[in-house]
Structure 1
Amino acid sequence: MPSGWRLVSVEDIRSPEPHSCVAGPFGSNISSKFFTPSGVPVIRGGNLRDDLTRFVPSGFAFVSAEQAQQYRAQHVRAGDLVFTCWGTIGQVGLIPADGPFPEYIISNKQLKLRPDPEKTDHLYLFYHFASPQMVGHIKGKAIGAVPGINLGILKSLPVALPPLPIQHRIASILSAYDDLIENNRKRIAILEDMARRLYREWFVHFRYPGHESVPLVDSPLGRIPQGWEVQRVDAICHAVLDGDWIETKDQGGSDYRLLQISNIGLGDFVETGNFRYVTQATFDRLRCTEIKPDDLLVARMPTPIGRAWLARKMPWPMITAVDVAIVRRVRIR
């Protein structure tokens, strides 16, 4: 370790004020029955990542300001760190100073850390805990059938701590790179929106290059360009499969994540924080179907029915519940 650096624990660097390092509320005390259309936001699994994303400021649940007073110890503000303690272990978030809310409440599946600003830079700490090495270390500390860490494990986590000016410098350099990455992400989002608009223009409204010279003809789906065909999905794909019927008694372990229909959004994966898994043995016994990149997952129940997500590489092997259909690979003719 470089001269002047120290190896300390989270317990050593937390703020001396009360409730600086606490667990989320007991589950039934912050269940969906308390949620309201607006109020104080509740941080859930979808707001945290394990890929150096500091915070995802969308998709919040809310509780009333009056109900929020029941969770004063679990309030977090700018500069606080939030860790997932059950489910996707290794997720960590840093509450931003630029909103969208001045305060939040952590859920029952999270832990809060408010660092002592006289000892450490909160951004340096975020990069420390979000590093692949520390994410792996935290996952290695997980306990229980559903992987989890408790408050004692969090307080014991090691921190390589340089002098405060060096912490500020390290955080500043890494933050500059993050800003460049974020700008690129915004550009990509703009390009993706342009691609969606182009798709609708060409394949929904049929205003593609040269469409003026192609007449529209009747089809079972309405009028389409002459020369186009209407085909069944199973005629143009390698397979259309059911998801797996997984009963509660078959769930457990951490080998394959069991996706729920609520994870399927309108073209997106929706992180609900509802983490369910099956073991390799259960996967083999029930002959489950593993989700592969480029599988199209289609919701068979509302709302709305038919919403779909094109699967990408994810942090875990996946299977899906029976109410989601798997459309596998379009045949190129």
Structure 2
Amino acid sequence: MSKWENVEIGSSGLKIADGNYSAKYPRSEEFIVEGVPFIRANNFKNKTIQDEDMYFISPEKHAELKKGHVLPNDVLITTRGNIGEVAIVPKRHNDSNINAQIVLLRSYGNFHPLYLLHVLGSNLVKEQLPKLTTGTALKQLPVKNLKKIKIPLPPLPTQQKIAAILDEADKLRQLNKQLIAKYEALSQSLFLEMFGDYIHDKNSKKKIEDIASFIDYRGKTPERVDNGVPLISAKCVRPGYFDKTRLDFISKETYSKVMTRGYPKVGDVLFTTEGATLGYTCRIPNGFKDFAVGQRLITLQVNENYNAITLDYMLNSDTLQFEIFKQATGSAAKGIRSAKFAKILIPVPPLLLQNLFAQRIQVIEQQKAQAQQALAKSEDLFNSLLQRTFKTIDT
């Protein structure tokens, strides 16, 4: 395969415009219930625009804000906050508007829109962003810097072929994501159906320390090794699932020193106590024998009056999450002390009901796990195709 020309998008013939309207930017009172959609980064989902939580402006305000009028197949990219998220404008959003966090890119024939969408969302572009972003507290990608991003420019027929292949692979990813979302919604519905009354019943609550014992590690950061005893850290705890790919390892000698406060076991509930993952919970999955749990985590071992699966879902409920964050302290990185966490009140439904919930939820979780495996495979396929597509490009 011959190498393609690598061009800066600012000199590639694309129209590039943002929604930074300075003093003309809509004030809060100028947003209305119905009108011209005012697209924000919140509306990006699965590389398209979702209408949930959409803001609207009047046709008069829209006419005043001329820079950010979008057309179908315009590619949008976020330039503030979570920089580099991309979406393509669907037909229903013809002549909508964009806010100051978004830049539109419009091709006049030299770029296939779907090719542009996928290349802007690829690692090829994401690896360029750190050097182009500015700011500390709030990162941003100025338009003048965005124009410096380099992307490959194959012939248009080649772009169309690449776009078709990547789009089919991406559709598979999105279908798996949608399936996982349905299982999560089903789990939440079952939880509320069975425990909704208990969540708001003060008489059915006890302190967390009354239904579970705590194991936490308070020593220095243990030294990692390439192979040894698995060490579970906070990065392994994702919302509702355990990420085995992020395990660390410590030596057997370190393991004997670390585990002085108790030994966690399969099925115990993990709770993250600080940082960006504060409040995340999941259960220790099967397949572990000897292992350690590191810093910023509490291992919860339930007593005979509570089911670990129910505890996991209880801690993830909106009510408990609100209480956890209310008790958290700190500015840069919020955290909750184990002593405060122990005193939080948690609903205690009848154990029979808890066990019934656990039986039902495990069936859903098995199906969700299969969907997650399928998603992982489709992610690998998509990323592999991206890598193979752009591996011939000069940097």
- Structure-2-length-normalised TM-score: 0.52
Change (3 A) 1:134 1:201: same
CA displacement at 1:58 relative to structure 2: 2.5
Corresponding position of 1:294: 280
Corresponding position of 2:69: 75
The residue matched to 2:147 in structure 1 has which SS? helix
Change (3 A) 1:321 1:47: farther
Tell me the distance in 1 between the aligned counterparts of 2:63 and 2:152.
Answer: 36
| Counterpart residue type for residue 138 of structure 1 | L
Corresponding position of 1:221: 201
The residue matched to 1:179 in structure 2 has which SS? helix
Segments of 4+ in structure 1 off by > 4 A? 233-239, 295-299, 305-311, 326-330
Consecutive unaligned residues in structure 2, runs of 5 or more: 215-238, 240-272, 282-314, 326-331, 352-395
RMSD: 3.9
Q: Deviations over 1:176-218 (max 9, x none)?
A: 1121222222222322232223223332369xxxxxxxxxxxx
CA displacement at 1:128 relative to structure 2: 0.6
The answer to whether the Cα contact below 8 Å between 2:10 and 2:147 also exists between their aligned partners in 1 is yes
Selected match of 1:35 from 31, 38, 41:
31
The residue matched to 2:20 in structure 1 has which SS? coil
CA displacement at 1:126 relative to structure 2: 1.0
Corresponding position of 1:149: 141
Q: Does 1:105 align with 2:97?
A: yes
The answer to whether the Cα contact below 8 Å between 1:82 and 1:106 also exists between their aligned partners in 2 is no
Corresponding position of 1:256: none
Selected match of 1:25 from 20, 27, 32:
20
TM alignment of 1:119-134, pairs within 5 A: 119-134=110-125
Change (3 A) 1:310 1:147: same
Q: Deviations over 1:40-91 (max 9, x none)?
A: 1112121236xx6344442211111111111122111211122222222222
Corresponding position of 1:177: 169
- Structure-1-length-normalised TM-score: 0.61
TM alignment of 1:38-77, pairs within 5 A: 38-48=34-44, 53-77=47-71
Selected match of 2:131 from 135, 140, 148:
140
Change (3 A) 1:27 1:298: farther
Change (3 A) 1:188 1:144: closer
Percentage of identical aligned residues = 23
The residue matched to 1:11 in structure 2 has which SS? helix
Selected match of 1:204 from 196, 208, 218:
196
Consecutive unaligned residues in structure 1, runs of 5 or more: 207-219, 224-228, 240-266, 268-287, 300-304, 312-317
| Counterpart residue type for residue 105 of structure 1 | N
The residue matched to 2:116 in structure 1 has which SS? helix
Change (3 A) 1:196 1:64: same
Larger Rg computed on CA atoms? 2
Selected match of 1:230 from 190, 198, 205:
205
Q: Deviations over 1:68-126 (max 9, x none)?
A: 111122111211122222222222222123x3x3232111222221122x211011111
Corresponding position of 2:106: 114
